[in-house]
Every structure is written in structure tokens, then in C-alpha cells.
A and B are shown apart, each in its own frame.
Chain A
Amino acid sequence: MPAPLLEVRDLKTQFFTPEGVVKAVDGVSFELHAGETLGIVGESGCGKSVTALSIMRLIPRPGRIVGGSVLFEGRDLVGLSAAEMQEVRGESIAMIFQDPMTSLNPVFRVGWQVGEPLVIHQAKDNASAGVEATRMLAKVGIPNPQQRARDFPHHFSGGMRQRAMIAMGLTTTPAVLIADEPTTALDVTIQAQILDLLRHVNREFGMATILITHNLGVVAGMCERVMVMYAGRIVESGPTADVFAHPKHPYTWSLLRSIPRLDADRREPLKPIEGSPPDLIDPPAGCSFHPRCAFRVDRCSHDDPRLQPVGDTQQAACWVTQAGTELPRA
């Protein structure tokens, strides 16, 4: 197997708030290979966005990366200077955000913003950056790109803004694209358009994509591999097909059971996960999912499981499945 493009090792990011230290990311390790689409799923506060922001070194105060490393093409990004990191951000790793209205600058024309990375990172002049921006807007499916490049963000609909964001991320043809909930703010028919666009640009540009979402349906349709996060940790990872068919962590198992499915015909009560996600300042001892877990054993309340191989292709941080117990069919 070739060396991974991006390798995150034991990443720890904490927020130092007046109420206490929030362990938002608590020892996350994974690899991303060239060309693949990796999904990160989890609920709000599970650390999926903070993981992405840590890779980009965009953690806002009072947060800080307190441990671990992020190796990109063998170089540790955690140790880079601000100027060096700025170069990586524009050239090699790009990120698109959930809300394209707040991440586009309202006072600049869309075309200028899409071309800006080229001016900054590749020292292009404004004219050729503008030409390139128009070409990118056409590539992401904006009609009349030449004319629309002269519009301001408020002239664009939500879906078009997200297309413009994607165009901006792609202008420098980065090796890694991180998409943080790129379709959450969009309507379902527009979501389908944007997901289709992401599939298309992934094929055309061959970059690796990290897709962060809370929507299990989006992961099922987009990602070859998936990582499930809970309370700042990866609790399960593996090929998407295997994780969905035979979840090896009770959290994944319960999550898959709790959501209503469009293709289900029965109208029986849903099976919710009881309780709420834990407080990350004072997480439960042992496995942080154990208070909500239907399969817990004594050990779970005091002993903290690590992510270990379970079965042929998956990894799970669970004492029960690591001991060989199969979870019932969901």
C-alpha cells in the first residue's frame, strides 16, 4: 500500500473555557489515501469539525492543539509556522464550510473571491486569476459564469453559493479537500446537486476528500470509508459497506436503528438512543458511551476501550465486540 497522503496521529485538541477544559478531540488517529473519500460522522459536539479545523490549524481561541501530529506528505503540520501553514492551506489542503453565506465575503464579487487563492498562492495577476475563476465557476455548474462572476454573494442562491465555495476550494487544485457539512444548510434537491458535483470533481481532479456530516445517508452514497466519532474519539471505522451492514460499535448500531428510513414501509415506533451525548468537560469514566449503551458490561464503566481491529475490515473501541460478541442485526 502506498504511503498515506495525510496521516493524523493521536491528535488532541482542547478548549480552555472558564467552566473547564473541553476535550473536543481526544486522541484521534487515521489515514487518508490519495483519491479516496473518507466520511466522518457523528452528532454535534462529537469533535468531527474540530478534527477538520485542527488539520487546517484553524482552531479558534480558547482552543489549542495539545498533542499529536498531522503528517501531510511526511511533513508535520502541527509544528509549522503561521506563514508555512498559510501556504499549505491554499495550495495543498482546502476546506469548504457548511454555511456558504457566512464564508463568502459579502462585499467582494464572487469571481474575485474564487480567483483570490491564485493571486495569493500562485502569484497570478488579477486578469488571469479572473479568467481561471470564470472557468472554475463553469466547471461547478454555474450558468453564465462570465456574467455571474461579477455578481456579489447575495445575488446567489444557497446552492449556487455552495458551488462557488467549492470552485474557490478547487482553484489551486489541492491534494485534499475537506468538506464540513457541505449540504446541511441546503434543500434536498440542491443537496443532491452538490453531492453529485462533489463526486464529479473528485473524479476529475483526483483529490482525496474528507466529508464531514451527521447524515448517514450522505455517507452511504459518497464515502468508501467511514469513521464514526463520539465524544471526541473515533469509536468505529471501516469500509462504509461493512460498517453499515455489520456495525461493530453499539453507538453505530443504535444510530442506524434510530433513524427513520425512506425505504421502510412499516410504521412502528423508532428505537431512540436514550439519554444525551456526554459533557466533554467531565465525560463519564470508562467508555464515554456506556451510560447510553444497551450492551454494556461491568468493565465499560471504569475501563476505557481503545480502537482495535474487530472482524476483518473494521476497527471499534468497544470491550463487548472486541471480546467477540456479535451485535444483533439492526
Chain B
Amino acid sequence: MPDIAAAPALHRAWTATDPLVSVRGLKKWFPVSSGVLQRTIAHVHAVDGVDLDIKKGETLGLVGESGCGKSTLGRTLIRLLDANEGVISYRGEDITRSHGESLRRLRRKMTMIFQDPYASLDPRHTVGDIVGEPLDIHRLFQGRERTERIGELLNLVGLNARHVDRYPHEFSGGQRQRIGIARALAVDPEFIVCDEPISSLDVSIQAQIINLLEALQARLDLTYLFIAHDLSVVKHISNRVAVMYLGKVMEVAPANELYRRPRHPYTGSLLAAVPIPDPAIELTRERVILQGDVASPVDPPSGCRFRTRCPRAREHCAEAVPPLEALGADHKAACFYPLD
């Protein structure tokens, strides 16, 4: 059972020092079906017991390799997917099972920016329709006010408001991502899940979008969950970073601290694997190369999930699941034998 008692302050009013979004014991499984009758034969444990707090105004980076459950966690957090177990709270209120009008209200507070600006924009709609759709759904602005709001949103993300009648194909990848950002901002949200927002963009365009996201955060007092696999980008944009592996959070710490002094062996190997664009450094760098592949999330290893690839694993690691424990101020890791 998730430790609900540990969830912060459900009994008193939420204050700005409490986490804006908080999850305890969150699990999300997907059924694997097989055979003529498509019977469920197993489950993919995409998110398998996650505790996480996101503070108001911060950017929490979420990193991990493909299939580690980071996107599923992001989507479950904002109720695009329903959790199998656990509690999600927003401003101190349990939103795990919100529905109807309260879920609708939530949708105005939590939005999402998607990875692929080609797939996430309907090619048959004009930019004005795309950015205006959330306004219509939530009946926020009508008539001339609506037109003005769309223009304002386009300006906010650095697009020309005169381009409202254009279609997505008339824009470059970077501009399309700006349209996706304008759509996410339309309802004036407080919390945005950015799911790999720059991974499909060219290197020279990525920095433009990162700077835009940072400027918008400062201007609109936004809180981000920034999901990415590029550790250099995550380090740059995040205040704190959480590292996921096979459905679990392995380590969470302030960004600089995590990169300077990783405590979980998985974090250490991830950082060691990132190429640094400096031949002098690359030449002398010690290469610790992680062997093997990520284990299957259908049948994860017993005990610590990373133990099958971990250079420090001992017997005990197969017997018990290491809890995510505090190792310093604001620094937690789930490892029995952490790095120094």
C-alpha cells in the first residue's frame, strides 16, 4: 500500500511552500494481451511506485532511458492516464479520481507540450484554430476577445500574430513547437508537463525553444515537469532533477548537486555516457561503459531493478528493494551501496 500518511499536508490548507504537485506510491500498469481472445497475460509496469514532489515555480527535470516510464509518469500526473494505485495531489487536493467539473477545472491548470510538433498539430486546422481550441472548450473568450487572446499568445511565443490563418505545414519545426507552446499556454495554466519538447528539433533551434520556455516561466510564474533524455539540456533548464529507471525514481537532487556528485550508480553511469563537445576532455575522460540492456518492464528484476547492470550490485540488492532515502539536504537516492 502506498504510504498515504507521508503525503504532505492533506489536512490543512495548501500554502505556497507546499509542493504544487505531489505523488505517493503512484503505479501505472498497461496490460499485455495475447492469443485469439486477447486475454491479458501480463502487465508492463511502466510506473511502479513513485513518490515525487514538484515545488511551485520550479522546473523538475525527469530523465531516464526510453521505456523507463518518464512519459507515462508525466501523463498520469496530469490525469491524461488513470493511475492504478497511489495518490496524486495538486495544491493539497487529492485529484487521483477527480472527474466531471473538477477534472475540467484541472485541465485548465495543468497542460502539456508534446515532443513532435509535426504529429501533435492537426494539419487541417489553422494556427488560430489550434491555439483557440482550448479557449473554446473551456469557454474562456469569445468573439473579438478570442481573436485578441490568440494574437497575444502568438506574440508571447515569438510568432507573428498576422499568421493566424496559416496552416502548420507553412511553419518550420521550431515555429511549430512554438505553436504547441502557445496552445499549452492558452488556458493560462499553472503547471506544464514538457514531454521531450526539443528532442525532434535541430541543434541550432533547440536553444531558441529552451530560452523561450525559461522566459515564459519567469513571466507567467509557471511550474514545469521537463521530461527529456538529453542530460545536458535537463541540467541546464532544471532546478532539481529526478532520474528514473524501469518505473522507479532512483535519485532526485538539485541539478548542480546531482551532476557534481551523483549518488546512485545508475546516475553515475548515465552521466559518464554523455559525450562532451570538447575533444580535450573526451580524450582524457575515463570511460565506464554500462553493460547490457535495460531489463523488461513486464518482469522487472527482484530487489533493485538496476542490479542486473550495476557494477556495485551485491547479494542483498536482489533480495530487497532499496527505498528512496535522504542522503543529504534535498538529495535522495534508492541504493543500498551509494557512490561517495
Residues from chain A with Cβ under 8 Å of B233 in the complex: 260
Q: A191, B273: Cβ atoms under 8 Å?
A: yes
On chain A, the residues within 8 Å of B255 by CB distance are 267
Confirm or deny: B231 has a beta carbon within 8 angstroms of a beta carbon on chain A: yes
Pick from A157, A214, A262: contact of B202, CB below 8 A: A214
**B66 and A221 within 8 A (CB):** no
A271 on the B face (CB < 8 A): yes
Contact partner, B208, options A44, A245, A274, Cβ 8 Å = A274
- Nearest Cβ in chain B — how far from A169, in angstroms? 21
A216, CB-defined interface residue at 8 Å = yes
What B residues does A159 contact at CB under 8 A? 293
Q: Are A260 and B210 in contact (CB under 8 A)?
A: yes
Tell whether, in the assembled complex, residue B277 and residue A43 are in contact, meaning their CB atoms are under 8 Å apart. no
Is A269 part of the binding interface, using a Cβ–Cβ cutoff of 8 Å?
A: yes
| Residues 133 to 177 of chain A near chain B (Cβ within 8 Å) | 157, 159-160
Cβ of A258 within 8 Å of any chain B Cβ, yes or no, is yes
- Known A-B contacts A217-B276, A218-B275, A244-B279; the reply to A188 vs B270 at CB < 8 A is yes
* Contact A254 B204, CB 8 Å, known A157-B293, A188-B231, A217-B274: yes
Q: Looking at B65, B278, B287, B290, which has the most chain A CB atoms within 10 Å of its CB?
A: B278
Q: What's the Cα separation between A219 and B203 when bound, in Å?
A: 14
| A273–B282 touching, CB < 8 Å | no
Q: What separation, in Å, do the CA atoms of A277 and B270 have in the docked complex? A: 32
Q: Hey, which chain B residues are within 8 Å of A265, CB to CB? A: 256, 260
Query: Is A294's CB within 8 Å of the partner chain B?
Result: no
Residues of A within 8 A of B37 (CB): none
Asked if residues B277 and A258 are in contact (CB atoms below 8 Å), the reply is no
Q: How large is the interface on A (under 10, 10 to 19, 20 to 34, 35 or more residues)?
A: 35 or more
Contacts of A255 in B (CB 8 A): 203-204
Within the assembled complex, what's the spacing in Å between the Cα atoms of A56 and B95?
57
A259 engages B232 (CB within 8 Å): yes
A window 229-270: CB within 8 A of B: 240-241, 244-245, 254-256, 258-265, 267, 269-270
Q: Are A240 and B279 in contact (CB under 8 A)?
A: yes
**Does B269 have its Cβ within 8 Å of any Cβ on chain A?**
yes
Nearest-Cβ distance from residue B286 to partner chain A, whole angstroms? 12
Measured between C-beta atoms, what is the minimum distance from B289 to chain A in Å?
A: 5
Closest to A279 in B: B172
Contacts of A221 in B (CB 8 A): 275-276, 279, 282-283, 285
The 8 Å CB contact of A220, one of B66, B207, B278, is B278
Q: How far is the CB of B221 from chain A (nearest CB, A)?
A: 18
Q: For residues 201 through 231 of chain A, which have their beta carbon under 8 Å from a beta carbon of chain B? A: 214-221
Q: Mark B163-207, 1 if CB is under 8 A from A, else 0.
A: 000000000101100000000000000000000000000111111
User: Is the CB–CB distance between A263 and B281 below 8 Å?
Assistant: yes
Contact across chains for A189 and B290 when beta carbons are under 8 A apart: yes
Determine if B204 and A160 form an interchain contact, defined as CB atoms under 8 angstroms apart: no
| CB <8 Å contact, A196 and B289 | yes
A187 at the interface (CB under 8 A from B): yes
Partner of B293, one of A160, A256, A269: A160
Q: Could you tell me if A269 and B203 are in contact, using CB atoms closer than 8 angstroms? A: no
Pick the contact of A217 from B172, B236, B282, B293 — CB < 8 Å?
B282
Tell me if B214 and A269 are in contact (CB < 8 A). Answer: yes
CB of A244 within 8 A of CB of B277, answer: yes
Q: Which of B74-100 contact A (CB under 8 A)?
A: none
Tell me if A190 counts as interface (CB < 8 A to partner B).
yes
Chain B residues 198 to 230 lying within 8 A of chain A, measured CB to CB, are 202-208, 210-211, 214, 229
Most chain B CB within 10 A, of A160, A245, A269, A272, is at A272
13 A-B pairs with C-beta separation under 8 A: A188-B65, A191-B273, A192-B273, A192-B287, A196-B289, A217-B277, A218-B275, A221-B279, A244-B278, A254-B204, A260-B210, A261-B232, A277-B204
> Interface on B for A, CB 8 Å cutoff?
65-66, 172, 174-175, 202-208, 210-211, 214, 229, 231-233, 235-237, 255-256, 259-260, 269-283, 285, 287, 289-291, 293-294
User: 3 shortest A-B CB distances, which residue pairs?
Assistant: A217-B275, A272-B207, A260-B236
Sample of 13 further A-B pairs with CB below 8 A, known A192-B287, A221-B279, A263-B281:
A217-B277, A220-B277, A244-B278, A258-B203, A260-B207, A261-B276, A262-B235, A262-B271, A263-B276, A267-B236, A267-B256, A272-B211, A276-B174
Residues of A within 8 A of B (CB): 43-44, 157, 159-160, 187-193, 195-196, 214-221, 240-241, 244-245, 254-256, 258-265, 267, 269-274, 276-277
